[in-house]
A and B are shown apart, each in its own frame.
Chain A
Amino acid sequence: MKLRSWKTIALLILFLLISVYQWSLISASMISLVTSAVLLPVNPARIWSVDLIEFWVASITWLMTGFFLLRRIFRPPGPSRILVNGAAIFLCLLGVVALTSPFLVPVPPNVQGDLITTRLLPPLSPGYIIETLETTEPVGNVSSIERKRQQANAFLLQRSIIVRGGKPETDDGRSIVFLFGTDDTGRDVFSRIISGTRVSLAIGVAATVGAMLIGTFFGFAAGYSNRFVDSLLMRITDLFLSIPSLFLVIGIVAFLGQSISTLIIVLATTGWMGIARMVRAEVKKLREREFVLVAKMFNRSSTTIILRHILPNVKLLLITAAVLQFGNAVLAEASLSFLGLGVQPPTASWGNMLGQSLGYLRTGWWLGVFPGLLLACVLIAAHYAIEGRENAA
């Protein structure tokens, strides 16, 4: 048994600290997950609830994270091939943060504080929360598992939380620190940033996947087909490129209405052009190579050649393009939400937090600085992750 990597140990300590601090929440989520899974065959319809899924996902990710950290300490891995540098590790960590965000927030992100004591508190101000849960006994004759499930779900969804600034007067409050201060309605900025991470990253990932699908398809279609189709497709690509993308996005959003799903569709349909061009150039180069000619000589179908011979060779390029596009999508989402055309309040995303902070630049600088800082870190990390990739390739 050899201990290695103090960073992993530090992360494990942080993991354990949060586990202890948020024990009631984490255990309730786990109980909810397990009992729901047990009861799934009995009554599938009643178990399903959108609000609960985030807690279930968080529980699973939490367990996996703990397992991964332990394993990394006791069995240090060989040279990692996936995580080439710090920037990529940072992005992965942020992904974990996004998935487990319900456990990481000291205060649920949309809970407003007491307006007298918590409005616009500067960073590192003390505060406390009082959690109350009206216990409702399950009606009728139910099994003990069902009873446990209902209790856990009630804790997750129905507890009422009061947030106040200052030191707790009596013993019933739990002390917290408003790490990044509070906003104009007494909401904890740190919690909103953590919760906004999930929204911003989810939109970024979904939009990237969409753009990659369209872009790869166009790239292969143009690069592997005859001259006429190629020039037609490239003309379409140029056409989309000629419109300033934010104007196009704003135009479409204005017509389709503002919602998260619209945002994803719009970002996917306006972000594929660069990918298509890159893929096309690469495919055009590859189709002249000897191994493709040999495959053609052996009478392989085009599908086989594309899937078995060309696709593996553009994989690295696709990963690079995906990371680049991810950065663009996150930035585009933030810009749109900043302008009030993206994610709508009260749901927090980095962009709309920045937009809302505009009115408080004089009285609360922390409202805009911290979400922007995290956004900037993600964008910089996305670029450095690619730099590492290119050097490794």
Chain B
Amino acid sequence: MPLLKYSVRRLVEAIPLLLGLATIVFFLSRLLPGDATTVFLSPNISPSILEQLKSQFGLDRPVGEQYIRWMGSALTGDFGYSFSYNQPVMSVIGSVFPNTLMLGMGALVVEIGLGILLALPVFLWEGKKVEAVIANLTLAVYTLPSFWIGMLLLLVFSYGLGLLPSSQMYSSGTSASEGSVFDLLKHLALPALTAAIPAAAGFARYLRSNVKMVMNQDYVLMARSMGLSNKRIFRSYILPNAAAPMVSLIGIEIGMLLTGVLVTETLFAWPGMGRLTIAAISSRDYPLILGCTLVAGVVVIIGNLLADLVNALIDPRIWNTE
């Protein structure tokens, strides 16, 4: 079973990445001058209580031991207590993570749709002026800052035309349980578009070069000479072949979307991971910041891993050559 062997190898390779990530995050927290007690307690606190607290949190032990203890608890998903929410970090993150996942999935769907739409011209009007214009526009949009796009979308669709709501997940007065799906979709539209537009342009650029490459292959010429319609050729010959390498791009995109989500959630007051991270920073809630950074890193690693595995399923050449 070479496929199984390949999958297991990829999984094993991800483990040192995860450990290294946790190590970076741990030493990030040690960069802080002093420790948690000097930040959160009054300087007038009596030394004996300070000592007691330090030993309670394990801060009086050598760094090496602290590191091992921290790694041990991090591996079991225990990142300590959030100062500002007074709850375990994992449960705080767990309560908002689905919202971010929803936003990310929405953005991913919009991104893939828009990306395919933007890459179509290369097939329809290859070598014509329209194609060049669209290619240049795609490059321009690709470089635009997403928060500015979001701002313009807000100005036009929310404040100008009054079509879509500007913030939150549900209309005011309704809660998660009674809000309708349509209401949620309406609230999701602008944030998802904001996160998706620059990513879609990147997606389209990559897909375009793939389509260009595939179009010159012999089997496409063969299909043409057999008299198949253009639509049919695109759907059954070009798109599947050009789309296979896109899978790994989508894996990388997950990380990019997660970064975009930070800004997007702040802009649209979407209650997710991004806004949680920003709030954690402004309230100097260090365990929560560390937890958020670690979870974000883990999501990226898992995204890349999934992309590799799906790629291996689609394209046997990846694991067969070894």
Listed in ascending order, the chain A residues whose CB lies under 8 Å from chain B are: 235-236, 238-240, 242-248, 250-256, 327, 331, 334-335, 338-341, 354, 357-358, 361-362, 365, 368-369, 372, 375-376, 379-380, 382-384, 387
Contact = CB atoms under 8 A, between A and B. Distances in A.
Contacts of B262: 246-247, 250, 335, 339
B161 interface: no
B292 A242 contact: no
A131 B255 CA distance: 52
A248 B27 CA distance: 12
Given A375-B145, A376-B143, A242 B31 contact: no
B278 interface: yes
Given A244-B258, A255-B32, A362-B159, A368 B148 contact: yes
B147 A335 contact: yes
B31 A245 contact: no
Contacts of A239: 17, 20-21, 24
B145 A372 contact: yes
Contacts of B263: 335, 338-339
A354 B25 CA distance: 30
A247 B259 contact: yes
B151 A354 contact: yes
Contacts of A254: 280-281, 284, 286, 289
Contacts of B304: 242
B290 interface: yes
B293 interface: yes
Nearest to A383: B143
Given A244-B256, A341-B281, 9 more contacts: A238-B17, A243-B296, A251-B289, A251-B293, A255-B29, A335-B263, A340-B282, A372-B152, A376-B144
Contacts of A236: 20
B62 interface: no
A334 B145 contact: yes
Nearest to B282: A340
B140 A380 contact: yes
A375 B259 contact: no
Contacts of A369: 151-152, 155
A338 B148 CA distance: 10
Contacts of B267: 358
Contact of B155 (A235, A365, A383): A365
Nearest to B136: A384
B159 A247 contact: no
Nearest to B297: A243
Interface string B145-174: 101100110110001000000000000000
B296 A361 contact: no
Contacts of B147: 335, 338, 354
B160 to A, nearest CB: 9
B143 A354 contact: no
Nearest to B17: A242
A361 B297 contact: no
B277 interface: yes
Given A242-B17, A339-B263, A251 B301 contact: no
B147 to A, nearest CB: 5
A243 B292 CA distance: 11
Interface residues of B, number: 47
A244 B259 contact: yes
Contacts of A235: 16, 20
B149 to A, nearest CB: 9
A341 B278 CA distance: 9
A243 B18 CA distance: 10
Interface string B238-276: 000000000000000001101100110011000000000
Given A335-B147, A354-B148, A244 B281 contact: no
Contacts of A365: 155
B53 interface: no
B151 A247 contact: no
B107 to A, nearest CB: 14
A380 to B, nearest CB: 5
B300 interface: yes
B228 interface: no
Contact of A243 (B24, B143, B152, B155): B24
Contact of A380 (B143, B255, B286, B301): B143
A372 B151 contact: yes
A253 B277 CA distance: 12
Given A244-B297, A248-B293, A251-B290, A376 B16 contact: no
A164 to B, nearest CB: 29
A339 B259 CA distance: 12
Interface string B277-318: 110111010100110110011001100100000000000000
Given A248-B293, A327-B143, A383-B139, A339 B266 contact: yes
A256 B31 contact: yes
A200 B259 CA distance: 21
Contacts of A256: 31
B28 interface: yes
Interface in B122-147: 139-140, 142-145, 147
B28 A251 contact: yes
Nearest to A239: B20
B151 A379 contact: no
Nearest to A335: B263
Contacts of A331: 145
Contacts of A253: 281
Contacts of B159: 361-362
A334 B139 CA distance: 20
13 contacts: A239-B20, A242-B304, A243-B21, A243-B300, A244-B300, A250-B293, A252-B31, A339-B262, A361-B159, A368-B155, A372-B148, A372-B151, A376-B143
B28 A255 contact: yes
Contacts of B152: 369, 372
B290 A379 contact: no
A204 to B, nearest CB: 13
Nearest to B144: A376
Closest 8 pairs between A and B when the two form their complex, measured CB to CB: A372-B148, A379-B143, A246-B259, A239-B20, A254-B281, A247-B296, A244-B259, A251-B293
Contacts of A384: 139
Given A244-B255, A252-B28, A335-B263, A361 B143 contact: no
Interface string B16-45: 110011001100110110000000000000
Interface in B177-210: none
